[in-house]
Structure 1
Amino acid sequence: MDALTETLVPDAAETIEPAIAPPMPGESHLVMPEQKLFRFDARQERRKRIKAQRAPWLQRLVVFGGGLALTCWGGYEMYRVIDVGGITFLKWMLLVLFLANFSWIALAFSAGVVGFLHLLILRPKPPAAPEKLVSRNAVVMPIYNETPSRVFGALEAIHEDVEATGLGAAFDWFFLSDTTDPDIWIAEERAFAELRRNLGPKARIYYRHREKNTARKAGNIADFVTRWGAAYDHMVVLDADSLMTGHAIVSLAAAMEADPDSGIIQTLPLIINRNTLFARVQQFAARIYGPVIADGLSCWMGRDGNYWGHNAIIRTQAFAEHCGLPHLKGRPPFGGHILSHDFVEAALIRRAGYTVYMLPSLGGSFEESPPSVIDVAARDRRWCQGNLQHIRVLPAKGLHLASRQHFVTGIMGYLASPLWLAQLLVGILLVLQASYIRPEYFSKDFALFPTWPRFDAERSLELFEVTMAVLLAPKLFGLILALFDGPTRRGAGGAIRLTFSTLFEVLMSALLAPIMMMVQTGHVLHILFGFDTGWEPQRRDDGSIPFKAIVRRHWTHVTLGFISLVAALLISPSLAAWMSPTIAGLVLAIGLSWASGQKSIGMALKRVGLLVTPEESSVPPIAARANALAEAMAADGHDDSDGLRVLHDDPEFRALHEAFLPPAPHRARGDITPERAMAVAKLGDARDIDDAVHWLRPQERMALLHDRALISLLARLPAGEKNQGPLIAG
Structure 2
Amino acid sequence: MDRTAALDDRPPPEPRSPDPGGFAPAMPPEAPLAMPVQDLARWSPEQGHRPAKPLRTPWAARLFVFGGAAALTVYGGLQMYETIAVSGSPTALQWALLVLFILNFSWIALAFTGAILGFAALIRRPRPPEAPASLATRTAVLMPVYNEATARTFAGLEAMREAVEATGLGAHFDWFVLSDSTQGDAWIAEERAFLDLRARLGPEARIYYRHRPKNHHRKAGNIGDFVSRWGGAYDHMLVLDADSLMTGAAVVRLAGAMEADPDAGIIQSLPLIINRNTLFARVQQFAARIYGPVIATGLSVWSGRDGNYWGHNAIIRTRAFAQACGLPDLTGRPPFGGHVLSHDFVEAALIRRAGWAVYMLPTLPGSYEESPPSLIDVAVRDRRWAQGNLQHSRIIGTAGLALASRQHFATGIAGYVASPLWLAQLVVGIALVLQTAYVRPEYFTSEFGLYAVFPRFDPVRALKLFGLTMGILLAPKVLGLILALSDGPVRRACGGTLRLLASSLIEILLSALIAPIAMLIQSGSVFQILAGRDTGWNPQRRDDGSIPFSDIVRRHRWHTALGLIAGVAAFAIATSLFLWMSPTILGLVLAIPISWASGQLGLGLALRRAGLLMTPEEREPPAIAAAAGALAARNAARGLDEADGLRALHAEPGLARAHVAMLPAAEPRPRGRIDPDRTLAQAKVVEAETIAEAAGWLTPKERMALLHDRALLDRLSRLAR
Which bin holds the TM-score, normalised by the shorter protein? over 0.9
- CA distance in 1 between counterparts of 2:444 and 2:523 reads 38
2:244 to 242, 245, 256: 242
Query: Secondary structure at 1:93's aligned position in 2?
Result: helix
Question: What does the per-residue CA deviation read over 1:215-236, in whole Å, with 9 as the maximum and x for residues that have no partner?
Answer: 0000000000000000000000
The answer as to whether partners of 2:135 and 2:172 remain within 8 angstroms in 1 is: yes
2:8 — aligned with what? none
The one-letter code of the counterpart of 1:499 is L
Question: What does the per-residue CA deviation read over 1:555-580, in whole Å, with 9 as the maximum and x for residues that have no partner?
Answer: 00000001010000011000000001
The answer as to whether partners of 2:685 and 2:715 remain within 8 angstroms in 1 is: yes
**1:41 CA displacement:** 1.6
The answer as to whether partners of 1:28 and 1:231 remain within 8 angstroms in 2 is: yes
Question: What does the per-residue CA deviation read over 1:595-627, in whole Å, with 9 as the maximum and x for residues that have no partner?
Answer: 000000000000001101000110000000001
- Establish whether residue 101 from structure 1 lines up as the match of residue 104 from structure 2: yes
Query: Secondary structure at 2:205's aligned position in 1?
Result: coil
Quickly say closer, same or farther: Cα 1:679–1:83, change in 2 above 3 A. Answer: same
**1:664 CA displacement:** 2.2
Matched ranges for 1:553-572 at <5 A: 553-572=555-574
Query: Secondary structure at 2:33's aligned position in 1?
Result: coil
2:305 to 303, 306, 319: 303
1:131 — aligned with what? 133
- Establish whether residue 510 from structure 1 lines up as the match of residue 512 from structure 2: yes
1:87 — aligned with what? 90
Query: Secondary structure at 1:639's aligned position in 2?
Result: coil
Question: What does the per-residue CA deviation read over 1:270-303, in whole Å, with 9 as the maximum and x for residues that have no partner?
Answer: 0000000000000000000001111111111110
Matched ranges for 1:178-577 at <5 A: 178-440=180-442, 442=444, 446-447=448-449, 450-577=452-579
Question: What does the per-residue CA deviation read over 1:452-475, in whole Å, with 9 as the maximum and x for residues that have no partner?
Answer: 211111111110111001000000
- CA distance in 2 between counterparts of 1:94 and 1:68 reads 19
Question: What does the per-residue CA deviation read over 1:284-332, in whole Å, with 9 as the maximum and x for residues that have no partner?
Answer: 0000000111111111111000000000000000100110011000000
Matched ranges for 1:19-98 at <5 A: 19-49=22-52, 51-85=53-87, 86-98=89-101
1:587 — aligned with what? 589
The one-letter code of the counterpart of 2:115 is G
The one-letter code of the counterpart of 2:715 is L
- CA distance in 1 between counterparts of 2:711 and 2:546 reads 42
**1:666 CA displacement:** 2.3
The answer as to whether partners of 2:55 and 2:357 remain within 8 angstroms in 1 is: no
Question: What does the per-residue CA deviation read over 1:329-373, in whole Å, with 9 as the maximum and x for residues that have no partner?
Answer: 000000001000000000000011101000001010000000000
- CA distance in 1 between counterparts of 2:671 and 2:538 reads 35
The one-letter code of the counterpart of 2:496 is G
Query: Secondary structure at 1:55's aligned position in 2?
Result: coil
Query: Secondary structure at 1:25's aligned position in 2?
Result: coil
The answer as to whether partners of 1:18 and 1:659 remain within 8 angstroms in 2 is: no
The answer as to whether partners of 1:440 and 1:451 remain within 8 angstroms in 2 is: no
- CA distance in 1 between counterparts of 2:46 and 2:55 reads 20
- CA distance in 2 between counterparts of 1:441 and 1:76 reads 24
- CA distance in 2 between counterparts of 1:222 and 1:69 reads 43
- CA distance in 2 between counterparts of 1:179 and 1:18 reads 27
Count of paired positions:
702
RMSD: 1.1
1:627 to 621, 626, 629: 629
- CA distance in 2 between counterparts of 1:699 and 1:621 reads 41
Query: Secondary structure at 1:640's aligned position in 2?
Result: coil
The one-letter code of the counterpart of 2:707 is L
- CA distance in 2 between counterparts of 1:443 and 1:270 reads 57
- CA distance in 2 between counterparts of 1:402 and 1:684 reads 60
**1:692 CA displacement:** 0.2
Question: What does the per-residue CA deviation read over 1:92-112, in whole Å, with 9 as the maximum and x for residues that have no partner?
Answer: 100000011000100000011
**1:18 CA displacement:** 3.7
Question: What does the per-residue CA deviation read over 1:414-470, in whole Å, with 9 as the maximum and x for residues that have no partner?
Answer: 000000000000000000001111112535752465322111111111101110010
1:645 to 647, 656, 659: 647
1:144 — aligned with what? 146
**1:117 CA displacement:** 1.3
Query: Secondary structure at 2:359's aligned position in 1?
Result: strand
The answer as to whether partners of 1:18 and 1:655 remain within 8 angstroms in 2 is: no
The one-letter code of the counterpart of 1:265 is I
Any unmatched runs of 5+ in structure 2?
Answer: 1-18
2:10 — aligned with what? none
**1:45 CA displacement:** 3.5
Percent of paired sites with the same residue: 65
- CA distance in 2 between counterparts of 1:670 and 1:304 reads 52
**1:670 CA displacement:** 4.3
- CA distance in 1 between counterparts of 2:370 and 2:591 reads 24
The answer as to whether partners of 1:442 and 1:450 remain within 8 angstroms in 2 is: yes
- CA distance in 2 between counterparts of 1:664 and 1:554 reads 47
1:155 to 154, 157, 166: 157
**1:19 CA displacement:** 3.4
The answer as to whether partners of 2:20 and 2:658 remain within 8 angstroms in 1 is: no
- CA distance in 2 between counterparts of 1:601 and 1:643 reads 36
TM-score with structure 1 setting the length: 0.95
The answer as to whether partners of 1:606 and 1:612 remain within 8 angstroms in 2 is: yes
1:12 — aligned with what? none
Which 10-residue stretch deviates more, 450-459 or 242-251? 450-459
The answer as to whether partners of 2:20 and 2:654 remain within 8 angstroms in 1 is: no
- CA distance in 2 between counterparts of 1:30 and 1:461 reads 61
- CA distance in 2 between counterparts of 1:517 and 1:18 reads 58
- CA distance in 2 between counterparts of 1:441 and 1:254 reads 69
Which 10-residue stretch deviates more, 279-288 or 650-659? 650-659
2:703 — aligned with what? 701
**1:183 CA displacement:** 0.5
Question: What does the per-residue CA deviation read over 1:61-98, in whole Å, with 9 as the maximum and x for residues that have no partner?
Answer: 11111111111100000000000222011001000000
Query: Secondary structure at 1:455's aligned position in 2?
Result: coil
Question: What does the per-residue CA deviation read over 1:4-55, in whole Å, with 9 as the maximum and x for residues that have no partner?
Answer: xxxxxxxxxxxx9743110000000011111011111233242212x22531
**1:672 CA displacement:** 3.1
The answer as to whether partners of 2:179 and 2:209 remain within 8 angstroms in 1 is: yes
1:176 — aligned with what? 178
- CA distance in 1 between counterparts of 2:170 and 2:651 reads 37
Which 10-residue stretch deviates more, 663-672 or 705-714? 663-672
1:6 — aligned with what? none
The one-letter code of the counterpart of 2:96 is M
**1:717 CA displacement:** 0.7
